[in-house]
Amino acid sequence: MDSRNHTSITSVLLLGFEILHSFKIPFFLLIFLLNILTVTGNATIVALVSSSPSLRNPMFFFLSHLSTLDFILTTNIVPNMLHGILQGEITMSFPACKIQFYFFSALLASECLLLAVMSYDRYLAICKPLRYISMMHNKFCLWLVISCWILGFITTLVVLILLNRLEFCGPNVIDHFFCDFSPLLQLSCSDISSVILGQMLLAVPMTSFPFIFII
Q: How many domains does the chain have?
A: 1
Decide if 153 is inside a domain. yes
* Mean pLDDT for the stretch of residues 162-183: 86
Angle between helix 138-164 and helix 58-87 axes, rounded to 10 deg? 30
Look at phi and psi of residue 117 and say left if phi exceeds 0, alpha if psi is from -120 to 50, else beta.
alpha
Please tell me what DSSP assigns to residue 187: T
Decide if 3 is inside a domain. no
For residues 125 and 138, give the distance between their C-alpha atoms in angstroms, rounded to a whole number. 15
215: confidence class by pLDDT, cuts 50, 70, 90: low
Given a contact cutoff of 8 angstroms between Cβ atoms, the answer to whether 97 and 179 are in contact is yes
**Predicted local confidence at residue 73, as pLDDT:** 94
Evaluate if residue 152 carries a pLDDT over 80. yes
Range(s) of the domain holding residue 16: 11-214
Decide if 49 is inside a domain. yes
Q: Name the more confident of 133 and 209.
A: 133
Decide if 26 is inside a domain. yes
Decide if 75 is inside a domain. yes
For residues 112 and 134, give the distance between their C-alpha atoms in angstroms, rounded to a whole number. 25
Maximum mean pLDDT: which of 6-15, 62-71, 165-174, 204-213: 62-71
pTM greater than the 0.85 cutoff:
yes
Which of these, 34, 149, 15, 160, lies nearest to 83 by C-alpha position? 15
Decide if 165 is inside a domain. yes
Please tell me what DSSP assigns to residue 186: T
**Predicted local confidence at residue 6, as pLDDT:** 55
Decide if 5 is inside a domain. no
CATH number for position 129: 1.20.1070.10
Decide if 6 is inside a domain. no
**Predicted local confidence at residue 27, as pLDDT:** 87
For residues 92 and 100, give the distance between their C-alpha atoms in angstroms, rounded to a whole number. 10
**Predicted local confidence at residue 1, as pLDDT:** 41
**Predicted local confidence at residue 103, as pLDDT:** 95
Beta bridge partners of 173: 13
* Mean pLDDT for the stretch of residues 188-193: 86
